[in-house]
Structure 1
């Protein structure tokens, strides 16, 4: 059954927690089986890592990315197995765009696991530890943040990289330039401007080397036209041509995540309810700030999962 008012959204880095999906895995067999499939590709036990490892281990980018992809795909498989309503549109935040493409039928899951492990490794290696930084800016509009970044950059890099919701923007770049921009944002009237516990400046020009290194692997992987529309981070539009999707997924690594525009695009196209398919409720919270009329559910526990099944059954 398709629900024309339903959109699925898939979280990115930051939503990982030790012990996540433990209750859901006990109820939905698709979750352990999907983790087992990913573990075979990775060469280590991904489920054991996220249940019994240390938070620092799952925060390593090359582990975080396959972990969150697997968690999201596992939940989507469980949703389909329970007869959950099929959405007509999807979007994912940064890494989550890979989850969306798998769930939309554009990419084979095991190929995605392999690619995002490499994506994470290359993104982490693109800038030596300690030389890059990211920071969240609360309470300034996009144009003001962009102006501060332009003034703070000098001969270094700092830019707005995640347009998460109106008044919530993440900036990233060279460590010293980000520090200058934090002070500039505070001076410009930001309610808060604070460093994030991330060492790599994701979605900036500093990530272009990672994109260039990953490009041949993306280009040699088979992509299909998605069966469900996926709204892309780069330009907040859907794309149906596989070769164009590949280019967007390369470009996405060093381009801003236009999340506010992605959600607004889906709402303008008829989405009334967003279902967050992955651990946590970060995107559900952002949805309320982007468009108060949007309903949202997260499905990372059996109780929330079953509530969402009932709420979206039409």
Structure 2
């Protein structure tokens, strides 16, 4: 059996080594040149990029391959670029080894690639939603300016405490629980600055301001999430064919209605990445493969659970190595 798990949440009968999760990166992982190696090596990749170009009405492939970087990293462009590159990587991997993952997850906008892989919506519908999401978040950022910062060496409880203590300076909240002591805060600039100072006073090792254009995953994005709701609700949604962990609550998604509410809340809510990965590890997953651009999630996974295998497939060469690994499991029969 090469398909998904028999139950989305419980303990499974399959061996631990047979459980493979595919992960899809979020904004910040984009870089000029992303997807080019797939495009040059796989006909499937060329077809998907061309479909994306036609749907968007501009050459996304050129922007991914050539930049300029300033245009690529704009929220409304980075999000569809990451979505397409991640989905392309998945389809190329399937062409080399048709071993479906036992679960999928994506960080922030990466969750849309995970949903497309789980056949919740079509590639095209996912791309429309991601482009719309990026535009709404861009507009919200212009209307209510914000920023983000990473607290390195912080606990979640401490991060929440300093956010609460700094709220007299404005809106600030926990945006990402990335793992290994990395908590990202988000909100109005003055409040983020005060929170960072309080965190330093409480012993946080380092505060890293993030080069972002808004206070993503904070209450500053509520209006964007509310506007996106109607777009999500208008898309035909199906039950996932592969188990998928939701950012918003680190639980398995089972019904389309959960997807509508989850993606809506995700825009202004916290990305619970570490709890999501811990859930998969607890459920017996031991192989985690990041598909798309960069190796951010691979690095986080190695710190969250050092005993698991975490690999990245960000170009044709690394993709081939991952395909060889998956083919080994299929041939050795551990997936039966």
- TM-score band by shorter chain is over 0.9
Deviation at 1:129, TM superposition (A): 7.0
Asked whether the 8 Å contact 1:30–1:75 carries over to 2, the reply is no
- Which secondary structure state, in structure 2, belongs to the residue aligned with residue 254 of structure 1? coil
CA 1:124 to 1:64, structure 2 compared with 1: closer, same or farther past 3 Å?
same
Structure 1 gaps, min length 5: none
Deviation at 1:301, TM superposition (A): 1.8
Are 2:166 and 1:152 aligned? yes
In structure 2, the residue matched to 1:249 is 263
Are 2:325 and 1:297 aligned? no
RMSD between aligned residues: 1.3
Asked whether the 8 Å contact 2:38–2:88 carries over to 1, the reply is no
Q: Deviations over 1:237-268 (max 9, x none)?
A: 11121122111111111110000011011111
Q: 2:27 aligns with which of 8, 13, 18?
A: 13
Question: TM-score with structure 2 length normalisation?
Answer: 0.91
Deviation at 1:185, TM superposition (A): 1.0
Q: State the alpha-carbon separation in 2 of the partners of residues 143 and 69 from structure 1.
A: 32
Q: State the alpha-carbon separation in 1 of the partners of residues 211 and 143 from structure 2.
A: 12
Paired residues, number: 314
Asked whether the 8 Å contact 2:144–2:220 carries over to 1, the reply is no
CA 1:247 to 1:129, structure 2 compared with 1: closer, same or farther past 3 Å?
closer
- Which secondary structure state, in structure 1, belongs to the residue aligned with residue 311 of structure 2? strand
Q: State the alpha-carbon separation in 2 of the partners of residues 173 and 248 from structure 1.
A: 21
How do 1:260-299 residues align onto structure 2 when only pairs under 5 Å count?
260-299=274-313
CA 1:125 to 1:105, structure 2 compared with 1: closer, same or farther past 3 Å?
same
In structure 2, the residue matched to 1:34 is 48
In structure 1, the residue matched to 2:106 is 92
Q: Deviations over 1:86-105 (max 9, x none)?
A: 11101000000000000111
In structure 2, the residue matched to 1:139 is 153
- Which secondary structure state, in structure 1, belongs to the residue aligned with residue 267 of structure 2? helix
Asked whether the 8 Å contact 1:72–1:99 carries over to 2, the reply is yes
Q: 1:207 aligns with which of 221, 225, 231?
A: 221
Structure 2 gaps, min length 5: 4-16, 330-336
